[in-house]
Chain A
Amino acid sequence: MHRIFLLWLLLFISGQSYAITTDLAVDASSEFNSLVNQLPKTKLRNMAPLIEQISQIQEPHTRDILQFMLDGELYFLKTNKQVVRAQAIAYKLYQLTDVLTEQSLADVKKSRISKIKTNNRLRSTLRSIIAKIDLTDKNKQVRLQAVQQLLSSPSKESTAIITELIDNEKDEYVQALMATTLSLQQLKAGDFDEKIEALTQLSGSLEPTVKNEIISLLANLPEKELTAEQQILKDVLSSTLDEIEIQASFYSALETVFFGLSLGSVLLLAAIGLAITFGVMGVINMAHGEMIMLGAYTTYVIQLAFPSMIEYSLLIAVPAAFIVSGTAGVIIERGVIRFLKGRPLETLLATFGISLILQQLVRTIFSPLNRQVISPEWMSGSWQINPIFSLTFNRLYIILFSIFVFISLLLILKKTSLGLHVRAVSQNRDMARALSIKSDWVDAITFGLGSGIAGVAGVVLSQLTNVGPNLGQAYIIDSFLVVVFGGVGNLWGTVVAAMSLGLTNKFLEPVTGSVLANIIVLVGLVLFIQKRPKGLFPQKGRSAD
C-alpha cells in the first residue's frame, strides 16, 4: 500500500514538474521565436544587443542560428520575412531550411531571399558568444574543442570569456587548457613582467601552439645588441623551450615503447602457439603460420555470415578461430606428425608441405586476393593522454589481449590436469605412459591447443594487416626466432623475447627505416643464437638435452 502511494506521489510530482517546465519552455521558445523574427527588420547597429538577447535564451537552436549567421548562411525570404538557412546548391539556386522548425523548404532563386547582414565587429561578437555557449556546454568534449579552438586563435575577447568561466570549470583537463590559453595570450600581448610570469606558467606545457609561439617569439628577438630585458626574455624563452622539448622527447620515447610493446604483443601472439608445439612438444610445425591464416580467414567468414553483427564479430571470431585452427591442428597431428616422431627434419618437411596445401586451399576457395576484414567501431579511436601523446585503442586492446592469452595459457599448463599431463609427457614420455597418461591423446590435444592459439592470433592480425593466403608465411620465421631466442620450452622466455624484439625493432625504425630495422633484428638474432644456441633462458636440469 505504502509503495503504491509513493509511486502515485512520484508520478504526480513528476507530472507537475513536467507541466511547469513545458510552460516555461513554451514561454521561452515564443520569446525566442519573436526575437529571431526581429532579425530581418533590425538595423546593423542595433544588431549586437539583439544577438546578445537571443544568446541569453537557452534554446536548442540558439547556437545553430548564431553559427549560421557567422558563416553567412542566414537569410530571410523577401516575401514574408521568414528567417531561413540558405545553402547554395547550384548557381544562384539555394536550398532553404527554416531555422526554427528545421523544416526543409522549396529551393529558391537568389533574388527571392536576402542575407541578414553582419560586419566584422558583429562577427567577432558572434564568435565570442558561440565560444561562450560552447564553453558552458554540458558535454566535456564540446568544451574541450571550444578551448582548443580558442587556443589556436587567441584574441582579447576569448581571454575575457575564459577569465570569466575558468573558475566555474569542473573538469581539470579543460581548466588547465583554459589556463594555458590565458598564459599564452599574456605571453603574446603582455609586458615584460607578464611575459616572464606567463612563461613560468607555460613551462612544461605540451600544446604545439605554445611551442610554436615560443619559437616565433625567439625568432623575432634581434640577433645582436639585446637590451637587458630582451636578454632575460631570450634566456627564459629558450630554457622554457628546452624544457618543452625534453618533455616532448620523453613522450615520443614513451610512444615508441608503446609501439614496440604492441609489435611485441603481435609477435608474442604469433609465437606463443609455437612455444607450445615446438617448445613443449618439440614438434617443428612449419604450418604454424597457416594456422594463423586460418584464424584470420575465420574472422572474415564470420563477418560475411553475420553482416549485422560487425561490432561483435571479433568476440565470436576468437572462439571460432580457436576451434577451426585447433581442429586443423589435431587432424595434422593425427594424420601426419605422429608418424614422424623423433625425426624432426622430416617433420619440418612434411609440415611445410601441409602449409603449401593449406595456402593453395585458401587461394582456391577465397581467391588469391587480399580480403577485407572490417574493424569494429570500438577498435578505432584513441586515448588522448596529452596533446602529443595518445594510445590507439586497437594497439592497446592487442597488448591487453595478448597478456590475457598468455596468462590463460600459463594457467592451463600450470594449474590444470591437462597441463600436468602435457608437462609430464614432454619431460619423460615413457614414464608418463607408465603412469597411465595417454600420451597419444595428450600429443593431439597439445598440438590442437597450440594451433588454436595461433588461430586466435590470426583474429588479431586480421585487424592489423591484410588477410591473404601469404599472411602466415610472413610470421613463421619471426615466430620460430622468437621461440628459439627466448629459449625453447620456456613460456616466460617467449614473452621477453617477443617484447624485446618488438622494442628493438621500433627503436631502430626511426633511424634506419622499417625494412632495414627488420634485417638488422634478423641478423642480430641469427648471430645471438649462434653465440647462445639455447636462447636467453635455457632450460636447465634433466629435461634439457
Chain B
Amino acid sequence: MNTPITEDSTKQPLFRSTNPLHLTIGILFITTLLVTLGNLIFPESSVLHVSDYTVSLLGKYLCYALLALAVDLVWGYCGILSLGHGAFFTLGGYAMGMYLMRQIGDRGVYGNPELPDFMVFLNLTELPWFWAGSDSIVWMVCMVFLGPGLLAFIFGSLAFRSRVSGVYLSIMTQAMTYALMLAFFRNEMGFGGNNGLTDFKEIFGFSLQSPNTKLSLFVATAVILALAYCLCHFIVKSKMGRVVTAIRDSESRVRFVGYKPEHYKLWIFVVSAMLAGLAGALYVPQVGIINPGEFSPLNSIEMVIWVAVGGRNSLYGAIIGAIIVSYAKTRFTAIMPEAWLFALGGLFVLVTLLLPKGIAGLIPSIKQKFAKTSNSAEANS
C-alpha cells in the first residue's frame, strides 16, 4: 500500500516537494507577496486590491499563527497541554506596549514627556522601577523574550521537577493565567489597570496610522513566522526534539533509559513561551491595544482549539487551524455575534470527538484516496 503513494506523489506536480517546510514557507512567501502587491499596486477600485484593513487583519492572523505554533510545540510534540500561553502572549504584548507607550512622549492627553497618561491620572510623579529603560528598543526586545521566558522557566522548573503533569498541569497553568489577569486588572500594578496600554502613536519612529507601517508590520510578521517555523521544524527534527517527542509518548520509559525528561520539558516550554511572547509583541502594534482581558482563560483555551482544529501532530496544521478559526471568528462575530460561542463550543466538541488529528490529519488520507483513484484510473487505461 505504501509504495504506490510515494511513487504517485513524485508524479504529482503540486506535491513535488512533500517536505512541509518548503511548502509552508513557499505558500507563506507567495501570500505575503500577493498581499503586498495587492495593497501597493492595484488601485482601490480593482478586484485584486487588498485594503489596509485586510492587511492588518491578516497581520493579526499571522500573529495568531505564530502563537499556535508555540502551543503546538509544547502540546503536539511534548504532550503538555498549556492553558497558560495566553499569559506568555500577553506578557510579550505588554513589553511591546510599554515601549510604544513611552514612544508617545508628550503627545499624550496630559502632555507629560516622561509619564504615560494613566500614571499622570493615578497621580504618580515618577516612573515605577519596572518601567525603567522601557523607552529603549534593546530593553523592549529583551523583555519580550525575558518576561514570558522567565515566567515559563520558574513555573516549569517547579512543575516539571515535582512531576506535575497532564490535566493537573493544565489546571495549574490556567490558575496562573487567571491570577495574572486579576493582578493586571489592579491599577496598583502600574500597567494601566482595566484599560491596559493604548493610544500608541508610532513604532521605531514610524506612525502606526500610516498604511505603509501597517504593511511593513504585516510583512515583518510573515518573515518572523517563517523564521519561527524553520526554528520549530529544526527543533522538532533535532535529536533534542526527538527526545521531547519520546517524552510525549512515554515519559517514564524515557526516564528509565537515562534521560532527564524535566530538563527537556522545561527547555521546550521556555522556547515555546518565548515564541508566544514574540507573537504578542507583534500583535500589539497591529491592533493598537493591550489590556488584561487578553489574560482571560478563554483566550488561552481558544489557542488550544486552533491547534486541535489544525492538527497537533504537524507544525503547519497549527498555522492552518489558527487562520481558519480566527477567520471564522471574524466572519461569525460580524454576521451573527450570538452564534459565535455556539460555533466555537461545537467546534471543541466535534473536533475532539470526530477529528482527533485535526485538518492536517486528513491530508494523508486524502492523498491516499487520490492515489487510489489515479492508480485505478491508470489500471483502467
Contacts and interface: CB of A to CB of B under 8 A. Distances in A.
Interface stretch (B116-124, B339-347, B363-371): B339-347
A530 B158 contact: yes
A446 B353 CA distance: 22
A480 B168 CA distance: 9
A352 interface: yes
Contact of A518 (B159, B182, B346, B351): B182
Nearest to A535: B168
Contacts of A105: none
Nearest to A474: B178
B81 A526 contact: no
B185 interface: yes
Contacts of A518: 182
A529 B172 contact: yes
B345 A360 contact: yes
B163 to A, nearest CB: 6
Interface stretch (A185-193, A339-347, A449-457): A339-347
Interface string A312-351: 0000000000000000000000001001100011111110
Interface string A506-545: 0000000001101100110111011111000000000000
A484 interface: yes
Interface residues of B, number: 40
Contact of B175 (A355, A477, A515): A477
B296 to A, nearest CB: 9
A350 B349 contact: yes
B304 A484 contact: no
Given A356-B344, A529-B172, A533-B162, A516 B186 contact: yes
A516 B353 CA distance: 40
B151 to A, nearest CB: 12
Contacts of A346: 352, 356
Scoring A336, A345, A357, A523 by chain B CB atoms within 10 A of each residue's CB, the highest score goes to: A345
Nearest to B340: A360
B198 interface: no
A350 B356 CA distance: 11
A359 B182 contact: no
Contacts, number: 111
B126 interface: no
B348 interface: yes
A530 B170 contact: no
Contacts of A356: 341-342, 344-345, 348
Nearest to B165: A533
A533 B164 contact: yes
A284 B304 CA distance: 16
Contact of A526 (B176, B304, B349, B356): B176
Contacts of B183: 519
A376 interface: no
Contacts of A361: 342
B179 interface: yes
B297 A477 contact: yes
Interface in B140-189: 155, 158-159, 162-164, 166-168, 170-172, 174-176, 178-179, 182-183, 185-186
Contacts of A308: none
B297 A355 contact: no
A357 B342 contact: yes
Nearest to B180: A519
Interface string B322-364: 0000000000000000100110111111011100100000000
A345 B175 contact: no
Given A515-B185, A526-B175, A345 B168 contact: no
A481 interface: yes
A119 to B, nearest CB: 56
A354 interface: yes
Interface in A39-70: none
Contact of A352 (B163, B348, B356): B348
Given A336-B353, A348-B167, A526 B179 contact: yes
A353 B338 CA distance: 15
Given A339-B353, A353-B345, A533 B178 contact: no
B308 interface: yes
A515 B164 CA distance: 27
A516 B189 CA distance: 11
B171 A480 contact: yes
A484 B301 contact: no
Interface string A182-224: 0000000000000000000000000000000000000000000
B178 A340 contact: no
Given A356-B341, A477-B297, A522-B178, A349 B304 contact: yes
A344 B352 CA distance: 11
A340 B352 contact: yes
A364 interface: yes
A353 B168 CA distance: 19
Contacts of B170: 345, 348
A357 B341 contact: yes
A355 B342 CA distance: 10
B88 to A, nearest CB: 16
Contacts of B353: 336, 339-340, 350
A530 B346 CA distance: 33
Contacts of B225: none
A530 B342 contact: no
A519 B168 CA distance: 19
B91 interface: no
A299 B348 CA distance: 29
Contacts of A530: 158-159, 162, 164, 172
B359 to A, nearest CB: 16
A367 to B, nearest CB: 11
Nearest to A350: B352
A245 to B, nearest CB: 31
Nearest to B356: A346
A484 B165 CA distance: 13
B346 A357 contact: yes
A535 to B, nearest CB: 10
B349 to A, nearest CB: 4
Contact of B341 (A347, A359, A532, A533): A359
Interface in B205-263: none
Contacts of A336: 349, 353
Contact of B167 (A344, A354, A519): A344
A421 to B, nearest CB: 24
Nearest to B164: A533
Interface string A480-510: 1100100000000000000000000000000
A336 B351 CA distance: 12
A515 B158 contact: no
B80 to A, nearest CB: 10
B183 to A, nearest CB: 5
Given A346-B356, A356-B341, A477-B178, A484 B186 contact: no
Given A340-B352, A359-B341, 7 more contacts: A350-B352, A356-B342, A357-B341, A357-B346, A481-B175, A530-B159, A533-B163
26 contacts: A340-B352, A340-B353, A345-B81, A347-B352, A348-B81, A349-B351, A349-B352, A352-B301, A352-B348, A353-B345, A353-B348, A353-B349, A355-B345, A356-B341, A357-B346, A473-B297, A477-B297, A480-B174, A480-B175, A484-B168, A519-B183, A526-B155, A526-B176, A529-B164, A530-B159, A533-B168
- For the complex of A and B, list the 4 residue pairs with the smallest distance between their C-beta atoms, beginning with the closest: A353-B348, A356-B345, A357-B345, A360-B341
Interface of A: 284, 336, 339-340, 344-350, 352-361, 363-364, 473, 477, 480-481, 484, 515-516, 518-519, 522-523, 525-527, 529-533
